[in-house]
Amino acid sequence: MEFSLSRAEVNRFEYRDEATSTNDVLKALATADAAAWPDLSALVTDNQTEGRGRLGRVWLAPTGKSLAISVLVRPGITHQLPPQSLGWLPLLAGAAMTLAVQKVVAATVHPVENVKEAEQPRHDIALKWPNDVLIDGYKVCGILCELLPDASGVIIGGGLNLSLDEHDLPTLTSTSLLLVTRTAPNPDEVLAEYLHELATLYRKFLAANGDAEKSGLHAQVSALCGTLGSDVRVELPGGTDLIGTATSIDTEGRLNVVNQADGLERSVAAGDVTHLRY
């Protein structure tokens, strides 16, 4: 694949016919030769053999039906960001993918003839805190961010379901762009949209010295986040659950949840979130 559109969006782009984990491969390459892998470098494959997601989960997909995307950012090269600002990178990536998927779906799903405007099919595309992208409540993409061993950069990994059919889906709560739009997506066009949104949000974030408020990132993520206002169960590190209503995202990117048990608000920095449906 040439990926001519995607190549234009980043400072280095490499496509591989196969990779174990694009995060692991890019981590090794960027550590061995930092100069060859600058800020906003991308490594992509449609055949990832040892993919993984958050919390150590295995991420597998049939060859040619999904994209594994890893982008290296090195914010410390040009800006001295406060360490806590790096916690916004997973949310930034999730917002970028949400915006890209919104554009792709909007451009692909055409109006149905002889159907009133109010009855036209619509899709709810939202960010689930911190960085899953959902279409109508079903997961189409997940993000995994990892620090380089020498802390000189962060790898933003993403797995996007392109053309999986019903029999390919890894879980009952997954979907793909093909299933939603009924049209086989162009991988280069989809990837270019994501890389463009990612680079745009990232550069604004850098220009504001990692301030999510000043850069507009906090407002953007909050507007896209379907978790806010939802009843949720958060599986916290250590095995305990927090059940309540997600109310907001704080200035450090943490999810604020009003505990159903005692009515007190807690800020969650890490955890696996499930949207509850009663």
Compute the distance between CA of residue 214 and CA of residue 260 in angstroms, rounded to an integer. 33
C-alpha R_g of the chain: 19
pLDDT in tens, 140-184: 999 999 999 998 999 999 999 999 999 888 888 999 999 999 999
- 157 and 130 in a common domain: yes
105 and 145 fall within a common domain:
yes
Of 18-27, 36-45, 96-105, 108-117, which range is least confident? 108-117
Residues 236-269: pLDDT tens digits? 888 889 999 999 999 999 999 999 999 999 999 9
Q: Which domain holds residue 46?
A: 4-223
pLDDT for 246 equals 97
Are both 128 and 232 inside the same structural domain? no
Q: What is the pLDDT of residue 52?
A: 63
Q: Are residues 136 and 244 in the same domain?
A: no
**What's the confidence (pLDDT) of residue 273?**
92
Which CATH number goes with the domain that contains 269? 2.30.30.100
Encode pLDDT of 93-107 as tens digits.
Answer: 999 999 999 999 998
Do 217 and 118 sit in the same domain of this protein? yes
Question: Does 235 lie in the same domain as 214?
Answer: no
Distance CA 22, CA 156 (A): 10
Q: Give the other-Cβ count within 10 Å of 152's Cβ.
A: 15
Domain shared by 140 and 268, yes or no = no
Same domain, 65 and 151: yes
165 and 262 in a common domain = no
- Give the number of other CB atoms < 10 A from CB of residue 238: 6
- In this predicted structure, the answer to whether residue 119 has a pLDDT above a threshold of 80 is no
Per-residue pLDDT, averaged over 113-118, amounts to 69
Same domain, 211 and 237: no
**Phi (first) and psi of residue 130, to 5 degrees:** -90, -25
Say whether both 85 and 138 belong to one domain.
yes
What is the number of structural domains in the chain? 2
Which of residues 113 and 187 earns the better pLDDT score?
187
Per the rule left: phi > 0, alpha: psi between -120 and 50, beta: everything else, 239 is left
- pLDDT value of position 178: 95
Q: What is the pTM of this model?
A: 0.92
Same domain, 114 and 231: no
List, for residues 55-93, the tens digit of each pLDDT value.
455 556 677 899 999 999 999 877 778 888 999 999 999
CATH code, 142:
3.30.930.10
